[in-house]
Chains A and B, each alone.
Chain A
């Protein structure tokens, strides 16, 4: 296109000037514009040269792009991925010389190795066990809750031996909805009602059930934004968001930095700033993604802040996605406020179609392996699409039945929550206390399963590099896996996320002892 258009327009712009000013038009061309056709050829030829040069560069860059991305991931070097040209495949028609090409996404995915996932893998390869592997790595990087696993186990055993035919498969095979059976939705709406403070009613027709909260986020991203659009996310955020939102939906995350000076609370000015900067760069912002209670830090959004966020979303005409998977895992004095509560109390003024809630049972009921997630939305279009997309991540029938029975056991749920909350409070208190004794302070938190610990005093260059070095020390010297702040996109280096719900009370001294080792090494070397 440009090639054909360019010479024409070029000659148009230059020829009138040549006729009007005789010969001496521009000084630097003096030596050039001589002879007939000189001006035309003099411009045409370099232009063409320049164009081909550009074309050449572009080609080169493209093939260069592919090379580095394909080479590192392959541990087996059997995968020299070349961009195929037709001629080559013709040359070697039996051509297995070049491996067959994978999608760009597949290569990105195999390359994607943040410290968060590296740590998880290393810890799972050499897991600590009191008796069998006392020198193994203690896993404190997962958001798992094993504090009350015994209660769940007891319930399952009782249920299993009770002869309850809960798993029975009904004879008629109807077209099973992908988005979850109604019984489970009903049980979940009751459960969520209880978890989110007992004042909100959850409508089952607004629910879509997915195989875990992870696909719930992914499906929402597919529904709310197109490839190349973006969501605003307050940092530090859950490291998994990068994969859930960016990989397959192709939606970008724009960080809205929160700082330790505000105890990592979100500020509206920062949000506004991030939004307008994104707009200036030409990025289409489609929503805000917040977790409440926040994932690494553990603080909660106040009612005022929620109102502000809703206002902001309305103002900019964007969506608000609130990830409330930790709603029931609170231990502090602050009360958790669900965004659903605000919608219910103020339904007349708020356009609820832009608000979507993500929930799941993996955190609050410690059923990580069960893969039960919920999209709760008021937007009919989003719900309709999400139901369609659920075909890719539906919950299998036995699990649905099992979870339905469990959630319907009201007494069990009540007991579980009470016990779990007490245990969490106790472990959190003990652990934070012990950390402060060795000089490590944590941000104030009241929910979630983490301590957000400030170790900036221990890092040598005060930067991400120092932080990762310290993380490496935790892995190799202390043998504990924790999540560095950089994996959560925290703007200040030196913060670490430590999950305290995978250790029991009597394991705290051991963990503290291991951390102390690193603290001493750092102090000694400085």
Chain B
């Protein structure tokens, strides 16, 4: 009879053991039930005011999303009460509910200087003749330096190229096989390497943005997070957070390391995130990096692979600027690393941007290249939400199959990029503005901390505001890229013509002169 010591005084008499446990259990259970009910009542009676200002991150319910669906009452409370509707049936007091996530998207993009600047430059674009006082766009990482080549090609080959083999009704939504094949041939050429790309591992999407979006949905659940070295692309916040609702854990890189990524920082960020209870599902690296333009060398890439393996997380390698790498250093693609490392490829996913490489940003063609069969299955199915249109695919197939043109294009584009980069950085240097040395990307990363009126994010934004509204150039402030040091700015120079460069410099000079005269 003497079962467990603490029950000694209790387990006596017949059935004592049984009743002694059942009754308190039942009591406890009803007590819990009572509490749960009470909590419900507490929540529902005070209905929030009709135009509900949902908190910015409300959609990630306290629970994991899967079970959130089963218990919808944990989600937000209704913004209306029945009684009010009965009072005035034809005019309910408030507008119909707009989802919490919609409200937060609208608010974030309204406030971020990155989007504000883009909008402003779009509304009042500079033009040498028509609008000489307009805003010059230096905030978009788009390359249009060699757009004329593609334009000429289309002109020469006629628009018939778009028709291809005619229009077929039912097409796969993840891209035509012919185009995938063409991309598999084109990418090694762009990288000047002999790497093998398998078309069956590709999913083509409407832009690299959608590729990142799809990957985020595939790799992480609501509220999980990705490690991202900062400064990172200013559009990541939108790409990753808005819809897929994934947190970004910043891995800060500093100017003292020349903004190179260190595994120690990665490890620290991972452990801190874990301590905070965040679930880290992956790491996103950008190579060449955006906004700094750094290349990741073979060693670092191997370290990252090891790191990801150790933590059992994914690697998303964003190589959308692969073709712009043109410094003395060698660009190493993740694909190369994996060719050597047989093991454990299924955690690696790579993103390319065909429109970046071809200097036609508005074609918006992204490539998702993954080694994980399950990710590919899901991504192919999600591709229906960001499918490429057939005419664009046909056109690209025709362009890419013209090997002579492609070769010439790559050469000229690289030369123009190099020249523009050199000119731009040299001119900035003359103004006393230093850029970090970089070997890729459509931008340079400039240190303007000398021009700040106060050293801090506030001073940085104030300078950004002067550049935008007084000097009329739109650049991206470091804070939009989540850089931890203030005073850094990203200048995208690949949408400029050479004539524009001197105008830009003149405008910056004005600001710098004004700042100096003050001090």
Query: Which residues of A approach B to under 8 Å, CB–CB?
Result: 2, 6, 9-10, 13-14, 26, 28-32, 34-38, 41-47, 49-51, 73-76, 78-79, 84, 89, 93-96, 98-107, 109-110, 112, 124, 139, 142, 144-146, 149, 152-153, 156-157, 159-161, 163-169, 171-177, 211-212, 214-215, 218, 222-230, 243-244, 247-248, 250, 252, 281-284, 286-287, 313-319, 349, 351, 353-354, 366-372, 379, 381-382, 384-385, 388-389, 391-399, 402, 502
Chain B, 190-215, CB within 8 A of any chain A CB = 206-207, 209-210, 213
Chain B, 141-197, CB within 8 A of any chain A CB = 142, 144, 147-148, 150-151, 154-155, 158-160, 162-163, 166-171
B384-422 Cβ-contact flags toward A at 8 Å (1 or 0): 111111111001000000000000000000000000000
- How far apart sit A78 and B347, CA to CA, in the bound complex (Å)? 13
- When distances are taken between beta carbons in the complex, the residues of chain A under 8 Å from B12 are 31-32, 34
Complex contact B20–A103 (CB within 8 A): no
- How far apart sit A441 and B344, CA to CA, in the bound complex (Å)? 56
Q: State whether A315 and B72 are in contact (beta carbons under 8 Å apart), knowing that A43-B24, A399-B392 are contacts in the complex.
A: no
Complex contact A160–B159 (CB within 8 A): yes
**Given B73, B100, B148, which contacts A282 in the complex, CB threshold below 8 Å?**
B73
Query: Which residues of B approach A to under 8 Å, CB–CB?
Result: 4, 6-7, 9-10, 12-16, 19-25, 27-29, 31-32, 54, 58-59, 61, 64-66, 68-69, 71-76, 78-80, 85, 89-92, 94-103, 105-106, 109, 118-119, 121-122, 125, 127, 137, 140, 142, 144, 147-148, 150-151, 154-155, 158-160, 162-163, 166-171, 206-207, 209-210, 213, 217-222, 224, 238-239, 242-244, 281, 309-314, 343-344, 346-347, 360-365, 372-375, 377-378, 381-382, 384-392, 395, 495
Shortest C-beta distance, B134 to chain A (Å), equals 10
- When distances are taken between beta carbons in the complex, the residues of chain A under 8 Å from B74 are 228
Q: State whether A223 and B98 are in contact (beta carbons under 8 Å apart), knowing that A50-B28, A167-B154 are contacts in the complex.
A: yes
Q: State whether A317 and B85 are in contact (beta carbons under 8 Å apart), knowing that A34-B12, A43-B24 are contacts in the complex.
A: yes
Shortest C-beta distance, A242 to chain B (Å), equals 12
Complex contact A398–B25 (CB within 8 A): no
- When distances are taken between beta carbons in the complex, the residues of chain B under 8 Å from A388 are 105-106, 109, 238, 242
**Given B91, B238, B312, which contacts A391 in the complex, CB threshold below 8 Å?**
B238
**Given B97, B242, B309, B346, which contacts A286 in the complex, CB threshold below 8 Å?**
B97
- How far apart sit A172 and B125, CA to CA, in the bound complex (Å)? 10
**Given A93, A172, A354, A398, which contacts B162 in the complex, CB threshold below 8 Å?**
A398
Q: State whether A139 and B170 are in contact (beta carbons under 8 Å apart), knowing that A46-B20, A351-B91 are contacts in the complex.
A: yes
Complex contact B159–A317 (CB within 8 A): no
Q: State whether A102 and B167 are in contact (beta carbons under 8 Å apart), knowing that A369-B390, A399-B391 are contacts in the complex.
A: no
**Given A164, A168, A382, which contacts B151 in the complex, CB threshold below 8 Å?**
A168
Q: State whether A110 and B374 are in contact (beta carbons under 8 Å apart), knowing that A218-B385, A315-B89, A398-B395 are contacts in the complex.
A: yes
- When distances are taken between beta carbons in the complex, the residues of chain B under 8 Å from A168 are 151, 154-155
**Given B23, B66, B382, which contacts A26 in the complex, CB threshold below 8 Å?**
B23
5 nearest interchain CB pairs?
A: A31-B13, A369-B390, A35-B9, A46-B21, A43-B24
CB closest chain-B residue, reference A9? B31
Complex contact A142–B170 (CB within 8 A): yes
CB closest chain-B residue, reference A74? B374
Q: State whether A32 and B170 are in contact (beta carbons under 8 Å apart), knowing that A98-B312, A317-B97, A381-B102 are contacts in the complex.
A: no
Q: State whether A227 and B311 are in contact (beta carbons under 8 Å apart), knowing that A10-B28, A381-B103 are contacts in the complex.
A: no
Shortest C-beta distance, A329 to chain B (Å), equals 14
Shortest C-beta distance, B139 to chain A (Å), equals 8
Shortest C-beta distance, A165 to chain B (Å), equals 7
Q: Beyond the given A103-B281, A124-B170, A174-B137, please list 17 additional residue pairs across the A-B interface where CB-CB is below 8 A.
A: A31-B13, A94-B310, A157-B163, A211-B385, A215-B386, A222-B102, A223-B102, A227-B61, A227-B222, A243-B384, A250-B65, A286-B99, A317-B85, A371-B389, A388-B105, A389-B105, A394-B364
Complex contact B346–A99 (CB within 8 A): yes
- How far apart sit A102 and B219, CA to CA, in the bound complex (Å)? 5
- How far apart sit A214 and B382, CA to CA, in the bound complex (Å)? 11
Max chain B C-beta neighbours (<10 A), residue from A112, A224, A393: A393
Complex contact B97–A47 (CB within 8 A): no
Complex contact A47–B162 (CB within 8 A): no
- When distances are taken between beta carbons in the complex, the residues of chain A under 8 Å from B238 are 388, 391
Q: State whether A153 and B10 are in contact (beta carbons under 8 Å apart), knowing that A46-B25, A223-B98 are contacts in the complex.
A: no
Shortest C-beta distance, A358 to chain B (Å), equals 14
Complex contact B96–A353 (CB within 8 A): yes
**Given A32, A146, A169, A173, which contacts B20 in the complex, CB threshold below 8 Å?**
A32
Q: State whether A156 and B118 are in contact (beta carbons under 8 Å apart), knowing that A283-B72, A317-B97, A388-B109 are contacts in the complex.
A: no
**Given B79, B105, B281, B391, which contacts A101 in the complex, CB threshold below 8 Å?**
B281
**Given B109, B309, B375, which contacts A96 in the complex, CB threshold below 8 Å?**
B309
- When distances are taken between beta carbons in the complex, the residues of chain A under 8 Å from B125 are 172, 174-175
Complex contact A31–B16 (CB within 8 A): yes
CB closest chain-A residue, reference B75? A228
Complex contact A73–B377 (CB within 8 A): yes
**Given B54, B140, B378, which contacts A106 in the complex, CB threshold below 8 Å?**
B378
**Given A10, A161, A211, which contacts B206 in the complex, CB threshold below 8 Å?**
A211
